[in-house]
Amino acid sequence: MKIQADNLVFKYGDLLAVDDVSFTVKPGEVLGFLGPNGAGKSTTIKMLTGQIKPYSGHLQVLGSEPYRIKQHIGVCFERTNLYEHMTARENLNFFAKLFSIKKFRAEHLLTRVGLGDRMDDKVSKFSKGLKQRLMIARALVNSPSVLFLDEPTDGLDPLSSEAVRKIILEEKERGASIFLTTHNMFEAETLSDNVVFINDGKILLYDTPLNLKLQYGSKMMLVDVEKKNGETEQLEIPLDNPDTGLQLKEIFDSSNVLRIHSREASLNDIFIKVSGRGLE
């Protein structure tokens, strides 16, 4: 296990910010950590990256206490902390030096994040999207075994978001474990092997996106048919009804079926169902 968190608790004074939280992340796994503002996501990431110590519980990252293995992790937090007066290349070279990496090739990493033609521009000239891509590149300088990404695509243009998502999947492919916080449901669904729903410091649900959808979604088939007057009508057919087959046959016999699709709950629908509040 790359991350093993058992019964983590963190308090700010009397405020219980993280309340008995347990999860694991395997090699090559993306864990999506989802919850509204104030749910406890950043506090959890701070414990995982060794910035704060759990009040109680047990936490191991790469088999050690988090503060011991900073050389082997990559972090990308929302707040940019790049050196604005340096170029993109100089920023990465600087971090490579900090990690004592001898043969570091900034060009390769910068090309991967789509900054190949901006390598020698000062960061102060970059848009938010370009800075974010550089932050991701910076998090990858030491080829980390575990990556912590806090809202990596928040507020980015679609092109930069797509670039960031592509890199996350490439890193997963390389075998890195990725802890991702987001309140973008599409992102969570497309990237995560498992998702944790957290609210008020507590884990509400923890499963694969597919299992959550199967468990909480309404099992419904939507059938678009063309009516005699040429208009389209949508029929809702429950899937767990013994008459479903018969009903479908009748529809096919009596009308022109245009298309059929299943209705799935989105992760946001599920979050509302279990917490009574939305995420997005």
Which window, 22-30, 38-46, 66-74, 248-256, contacts ligand ADP (CB under 6 A)? 38-46
Residue the block writes with tokens 């900090």 = 98
Judged by CB under 6 A, the chain residues 2 through 31 that form the site for ligand ADP are: 12, 15, 17
- Going 45 to 49 to 51 to 54, the CA torsion angle's sign is positive
Residue in 21, 34, 35, 139 binding ligand ADP, rule: CB under 6 A: 35
**Least distance (Å) from ligand ADP to the CB of residue 12?**
3
**Backbone φ, ψ for residue 4 (5° rounding):** -130, 110
- Distance between CA 191 and CA 34 in Å, rounded? 12
Residue 39 as a binder of ligand ADP (CB under 6 A): the answer is yes
Q: How far is the CB of 203 from ligand ADP (least distance, A)?
A: 13
Q: How far apart are CA 96 and CA 123, in angstroms?
A: 17
Beta bridge partners of 18: 10
By beta-carbon proximity to ligand ADP, the closer residue of 28 and 57 is: 57
**42 contacts ligand ADP (rule: CB under 6 A):** yes
Among 38, 155, 238, 278, binds ligand ADP (CB under 6 A): 38
CA 17 to each of CA 13, 47, 195: distance values in angstroms, whole numbers, following the listed order? 10, 12, 19
Task: Tell me which amino acid residue 107 is.
Answer: E
Of 40-48, 69-77, 119-127, 249-257, the window that binds ligand ADP (rule: CB under 6 A) is: 40-48
Q: Check binding of 275 to ligand ADP (CB under 6 A).
A: no
Rounded least distance, CB 111 to ligand ADP, Å: 32
Nearer to ligand ADP, 11 or 122 (CB): 11
Task: Find the binder of ligand ADP among 2, 43, 203, 279 (CB under 6 A).
Answer: 43
Question: Is the Cβ of residue 41 or residue 133 nearer to ligand ADP in the bound state?
Answer: 41
Applying CB under 6 A, does 209 fall inside the site for ligand ADP?
Answer: no
CB of 275 to ligand ADP, least distance (A): 13
Kindly tell me which of 14 and 117 has the beta carbon lying closer to ligand ADP: 14
Among 3, 23, 34, 41, binds ligand ADP (CB under 6 A): 41
Residue 67 touches ligand ADP, criterion: CB under 6 A = no
Residue 105 tokens read as 């090739």
66 is a contact residue toward ligand ADP (CB under 6 A): no
Q: Which residues bind ligand ADP (CB under 6 A)?
A: 12, 15, 17, 35, 37-43
